[in-house]
Chains A and B, each alone.
Chain A
Amino acid sequence: MSSTEHSVDSNQSACLVHRLAVLLVCLVWPLIWVGGLVTTYDAGMAVPDWPGTYGYNLFLYPYKTWLLGPFDLFIEHGHRLLGAVVGLVAIAIVVTAYLKEPRRWVLVLAVGLLIAVITQGLLGGMRVVLGDRTLAMLHGCFGPAFFALCVATAVVTSRHWRTYLTPSVQGPIGILQLWSAGTLVALSYLQLVLGAQLRHVQPNAAPGGFAMIVATHVILAFLLWFVTMVCWVRIRRCGDLTLTRPAAFLIGLVAVQITLGVGTWVVNYGWPSFLEWVPGSTGFLVRAKGFIDSIIVTSHVATGSLILAVSAMLWIRMLRVRHCRRVAATSGTHEMSEREQKQYGVSDSILKPESA
């Protein structure tokens, strides 16, 4: 096999890892939605055993009983099935990366992904077996982190990542820009953790502690929104749409999330007193287990995960841009050594497509 043929083959293999990673992202966000519904409907204990379902193997549980049974059973068993599919895709990513991916650190990342999905499954299973709300909260906190990890895998295995050698940015991607994007990741995850504390609140929790978490959650929401704006302002002229578009998207997404947060509070506890000027608020009736209400609450959870994932994607891409600029600056040329090509997952066919 010639080196050119090998490069093309390697490139296609890396594409397969990327496609699997994208599939994983497309599966995990719905998984977060279904998991959110499980919590919203208090269906976490709808199936008392684990890893089986009412004594059946997870995959052999009668589908008619599942689809036509109680809603709690439907979403809890569905959550488990989807989780199992995610686990299988994670295994496929590890195998594919082991066989074809030239970058060793990507293989390590894929293994980390598999370990993460196993950990998440164990947390969910232990939550059921032990009936423990704290484990449910940990399960709820770990899910978004896993989602962000999936997005990171998809980003680093993408064609854009492998072909991005000539920095096209016009403005600087300095430490401040990196910090603002990193702060977005940290803040959005902290928000998810705080939200999980409210959502999985212990029945004997002190009102003062709950109030403090609520206040922190609200303040950080606006701080997060502010940081998204700062981040966008700082990179808006960099000329790289793969950075400016997610940054702009985040501003809108956090705005939607704040609105959903208000909605979540309203459908759970009614209108807060400082919003009594809103028409109809003084006579608003909270309805327990309403479908639309449940969707509002669950979408708040899912959007939080999406914000984390987009922030992580932006941050990782900025790291990549900064790194490539450094490489270009130190070498004084865009030519890469064989070692560097291997390190960054770059094939000759990408560097010199005319030779392929």
Chain B
Amino acid sequence: MPTAAAGQDASDVARELYGTPDEPTWPERSSLQTLPLSTRNLVRAGGPASSERDGTHQGLFREHCVTCHALEGSGAGPASVFQNPYPRDFRHGVFKWKSTLRGLKPTRQDIRDLLVKGIPGTAMPSFALLDPDDLDALVDYVVYLSTRGEVERRMTAAAVDELDYGTELPEAELRLASKASTEGGEVVQQVVDRVHAGWAEAAENEVAAPAMAELKSDELADSVKRGKEFFHGRIANCVGCHGPGGDGSLQTLDYDDWTKEYSTKIGLTPDDHAAMKPFRDAGALRPRLIKPRNLQDGVFHGGGDAASLYRRITQGIAGTPMPAVEVVQESNGKGLTVDEIGDLVRYVQQLSSPQ
């Protein structure tokens, strides 16, 4: 297969640049210093679990995360098959619960908040009881695993698309390399810079959520009533997936992007067991239909506060079919204004509140 040689070279270069998940290193390139990662944190979080005399824990990722997220952050850890949704595969560089624009990386604070709050209704725990230094180390390590995995994946793709990798290896000048002195090395440099820039610029791309005004009871009732119309209306059309009143009664026939990569995106049917078998044998998880949230049970995986819901409505959820609603200055039939989205947020919050 053309990707076999490319994958092997990409794996070798990734190891040269980033070490291994057990012995992580951070590449010394000028453009990479923009990422405020601590090498000490990476070393603390990687490797086997142990603890020091003063109580400092080592191997934090193995201690807390590896059973679900796997050593390299593939999300296919030993306990992954029992979880729905599956644990996140960090290597795509795509994260659902964040404060940034849909296609962009999360901020470090987003990851930290997720670690502290956990995700109710899933196996993702709250690590609120952990030492803050441990949390910082885990945040750095998640960024590291995501970066390492995404760089490796993109290098593999670039090798096939740009460097003439076929069933045989290309000439030396075109092979992937950690040094930028060859054409293959320049491609690697571009990939690395792109991925690192995504993380470095995340904080600049936070979506500002407007403050929601406190409303009196009659104003609130009117707002919720308008929100209900938007929820069931043509523009937002939340009802199309979440069901009438957000009861989650509708069955969708869609999958998340992590699954689509080895199914619909390459023309395969996810529920075709024979077609999926080679991917399953290679460690991919069985595709599962995505379930829109039942909004009436009041459980919001990414947080149920107004700011989080506003961002989720205006950005959608990265990696999933959940679309974004366009924010417009004035009502034009194509999007919703900030105030109208505020009505929608209040309606969604009211769905799970006692009447």
B264 on interface, CB distance cutoff 8 Å: no
Q: Which of B76-100 contact A (CB under 8 A)?
A: 76-84
Q: Which of B17-71 contact A (CB under 8 A)?
A: 48-51, 53-55, 57, 62-64, 66-68, 70-71
Q: Chain A interface mostly helix, strand, loop or mixed?
A: loop
CB distance from B149 to the nearest CB of A (A): 16
Give the residue of B49, B54, B55 whose beta carbon is less than 8 angstroms from that of A45. Answer: B49
Chain B residues packing against A (C-beta within 8 Å): 48-51, 53-55, 57, 62-64, 66-68, 70-71, 76-84, 118-130, 283, 285, 294, 297-299
CB pairs A–B below 8 angstroms (26 shown): A43-B51, A45-B49, A46-B50, A54-B53, A70-B53, A72-B51, A72-B55, A131-B48, A201-B78, A204-B70, A207-B76, A207-B77, A210-B79, A269-B68, A270-B121, A272-B82, A282-B297, A282-B299, A283-B297, A285-B120, A285-B121, A286-B123, A287-B126, A287-B128, A288-B126, A290-B129
Q: Which residues does chain B contribute within 8 Å of A205, judged by CB atoms?
A: 78
CB distance from B45 to the nearest CB of A (A): 13
Q: Which residues does chain B contribute within 8 Å of A73, judged by CB atoms?
A: 51, 53, 55
Give the complex CA separation of A205 and B297 in angstroms: 35
Do the beta carbons of B123 and A270 come within 8 Å of each other?
yes
Across the interface, name the chain B residue whose C-beta is closest to A54: B53
Q: Which residues does chain B contribute within 8 Å of A270, judged by CB atoms?
A: 83, 121-123
Do the beta carbons of B127 and A206 come within 8 Å of each other?
no
Give the complex CA separation of A46 and B53 in angstroms: 7
Q: Which residues does chain B contribute within 8 Å of A289, judged by CB atoms?
A: 127, 129-130
**Chain A contact residues (Cβ within 8 angstroms of B): what range?**
35 or more
A48 on interface, CB distance cutoff 8 Å: yes
CB distance from B122 to the nearest CB of A (A): 6
Q: Which residues does chain B contribute within 8 Å of A133, judged by CB atoms?
A: 48
In the complex where A45-B49, A45-B51, A131-B48 touch, is A203 in contact with B128 (Cβ < 8 A)?
Answer: no
Q: Which residues does chain B contribute within 8 Å of A42, judged by CB atoms?
A: 49, 51, 57, 63
In the complex where A46-B51, A70-B54 touch, is A285 in contact with B118 (Cβ < 8 A)?
Answer: yes
Give the complex CA separation of A285 and B48 in angstroms: 27
Q: Which of A265-323 contact B (CB under 8 A)?
A: 268-270, 272-273, 281-290
Do the beta carbons of A288 and B123 come within 8 Å of each other?
no
A211 on interface, CB distance cutoff 8 Å: yes
In the complex where A286-B118, A288-B129 touch, is A207 in contact with B80 (Cβ < 8 A)?
Answer: yes
